[in-house]
Amino acid sequence: MEYRFLGNTGIKVSVIGIGNYLNGDAPDKKEKMVQIVKKAYSLGINFFDTAESYGFGEAELLYGEAFKELGIPRQELVVSSKIFWAISPFVPSINKVNSIGLSRKHIIEGVKASLKRLQLDYLDIVFCHRFDEDTPLEETIKAFNDLIQQGLIHYWGTSEWSCGQIFEAREICAKLNLIPPVCEQPQYNMMVRERFEVEYGRLFDKYRMGSTVWSPLCAGVLTGKYNSGTFPVGSRLHEYKDNPLLKRIFDTYFADDKKEKLLKVLNALSELANKIGCTQSQLAMAWVLANRDVSTAITSATSLEQLDDIVKSLDVIKKITPEINKEIDEILGNKPQLGIDYKAYLPNKSVRRDQIIIKNQYCNI
């Protein structure tokens, strides 16, 4: 396993992390969670991510039971959770109006509730699951600062915030001498790359912000299981019609006006993976991990075999040479352009992914 510093901090995280969004509703969920955590830990994974909204508390309960049963020393784990939705936004309750958002009340009560479910004394990182337009940003920052001072959390971060929102938060922190966010948790994969590679570039360069990217396999789209355009029984998208979140994924990638182009891309990626001697999943994960700005990529697994397969992607990173990266860009056709197009004047101008590093420049234990 490779470990990287989480941005400009001294904490080290495994480059592959585990999230338990999917496992919250799985059959025999407690037993499966124990098996997944045990296997992940044995593979060197130390970063475990969850949220108060995952199963609305149930996912945190499952992690708590698994950590307790396995008896893993707390100092060997880096555990993060996210605060914003303590109740379902689809089932509003007039009596729980303060259970959504980033008010001081919800942040402090939410973190304490998460700790109780996780059976932990502290969390390593707590993310603001989204930006709260209704709460003064200064109030949110002060609440996290107080939780750090109390020893209930070590660091705080953001998730799916814009670059401007993060810069604004850091300005407030500098002005009031408060602890700034140390990392962002955005989506990043072969299909979704514009914000990470372009918008956040200045944050990574100026502040060395960390990143705990989610959905590196694009909700399973990049695994190869959908390359024929069908959804096998047992796959996530097999039940997409009954789930609004899965329906959104279907509409984004498999709608009639997008499906043909997508399948062409997926099958070309499969051929490239065969060419360099790996699975399509490993190619997609290695491509994400090869980016110098990624601290850790959060994946999930429903079987131990899936975990073994994805960890083997570490051996594929060295195969993402500039030549292979160029082939991938040609297949995807979505390489972002940084700033003004200077191509006519500087034809050799690079973009962020052309600055890939194979070995992390900060830490490789």
Catalytic residues: 54
Concatenated DSSP letters of 116-178 = HHHT-S-EEEEEESS--TTS-HHHHHHHHHHHHHTTSEEEEEESS--HHHHHHHHHHHHHHT-
- Other C-beta atoms closer than 10 Å to the C-beta of 323 total 8
Phi, psi of 197 (to 5 degrees): -85, -25
Q: What angle do CA 52, 69, 234 make, to 5 degrees?
A: 60
Structure tokens at 331: 């297949």
| CA dihedral sign of residues 105, 97, 184, 174 | negative
Buried b (16+ CB within 10 A) or exposed e, 199-213: ebbebbeebebbbbb
Structure tokens at 139: 């109030």
Answer whether 217's CB lies under 8 Å from 243's CB. no
Integer Cα distance of 55 and 25 in angstroms: 7
